[in-house]
Amino acid sequence: MDEFKSISQMEVKSLKGLFFDIDDTFSTKGKITPEAYQAAWKLYRAGKILVPLTGRPAGWCDHIARMWPVHAVIGENGAFYCTMKKGRMQKYYTEETCREEKRIKKMATIKEEILREVPGAGVASDQSWREFDLAIDHGEDVTRLSRDKIERIVDIFKKHGANVRISSIHVNGWFGEYDKLTALRMYVKQELGMDLDNCNTEFAFIGDSPNDEPLFSYFKKSVGVANVRDYSPFLKTGPRYVTQQRNGMGFVELAEWILAVA
């Protein structure tokens, strides 16, 4: 991915906000460092719109929307977004049909097949707090799986007609025609009164892995933290810019650039 540009080449003076992935983009080795969290607070206090987009579950997103310096959070790879209004939690779903009983049964079949066919894979420890998708752990609480095993998990999801994305820690599968970009479009329209297609350059996105690919492809100001290079074999479309630093320090690097120019 050496063809991608440094963030110092990205115009950020008129930037209204930053959309960002959480795991291994905002966090570092499973922790959110003081530097990254403080960088988010600085952007928030500077009036920038902040929205994390994550594959993490609904239960986590409730906490994030309430407690973090963010304006909303998009969860389970685009199944919904949460936002606080007048001190109360509001949640908006992209597709209610994902709750259908037949889809729940199909997901149970997929889970059984993956655990049977892919030694070492496990159900993600945060699965209990999910509403829509199935998350298979490939490197968070299990010994990191090989590329071949990750691709086998992807193949099983696809065989059953599920959508699938690979994050830095999980393989997520779901039924429904949505992704992170779908939910982001809905958030921008409903909460900001804007058409995302008409304000693409007014926002930036930063991520690290294949489940961020729709955002890398869409945003003209798409950024990858340096560890995005680790996933180049899985990426058809990468970010336009890449930070020098990995993980949360890459997020800090971008935040400092935005604040320095604003």
pLDDT tens readout for residues 1-49: 457 899 999 999 989 999 999 999 999 999 999 999 999 999 999 999 9
Q: Is residue 1 in some structural domain?
A: no
Does residue 6 fall inside a structural domain?
no
Burial 101-140 (b: 16+ CB within 10 A, else e): eebeebbeebbeebeeebeebbbbebbebbbbbbbbbbeb
pLDDT at 97 over 70: no
Edge-to-edge strands of the sheet including 122-123?
A: 122-123, 134-137, 170-174, 163-166
| CATH code, domain with 139 | 3.90.1070
* Distance separating the N- and C-terminal Cα atoms of the chain: 28
pLDDT one-digit tens code per residue, 184-235: 999 999 999 999 999 999 999 999 998 899 999 999 999 999 999 999 888 8
Instruction: Give the chain's domain count.
Output: 2
Q: Give per-residue pLDDT as tens, 52-62.
A: 999 999 999 99
Q: Find where tokens 């993980």 sit.
A: 247
Identify whether residues 75 and 169 lie together within a single domain: no
Q: Determine the Cα–Cα distance for residues 16 and 39; give it in Å rounded to an integer.
A: 16
Give me 215's structure tokens.
Answer: 């955002």
- Same domain, residue pair 162 and 198: no
Is there a single domain that holds both residue 15 and residue 90?
yes
**Domain assignment of residue 183, given as a range:** 11-94+178-261
Look at residue 251 in the predicted model and tell me its pLDDT.
98
* 156 and 39 in a common domain: no
87 and 183 in a single domain? The answer is yes
Do 216 and 120 fall within a single domain?
A: no
Q: Do both 23 and 80 map to the same domain?
A: yes
Q: Quick one: 81 and 206 in the same domain?
A: yes
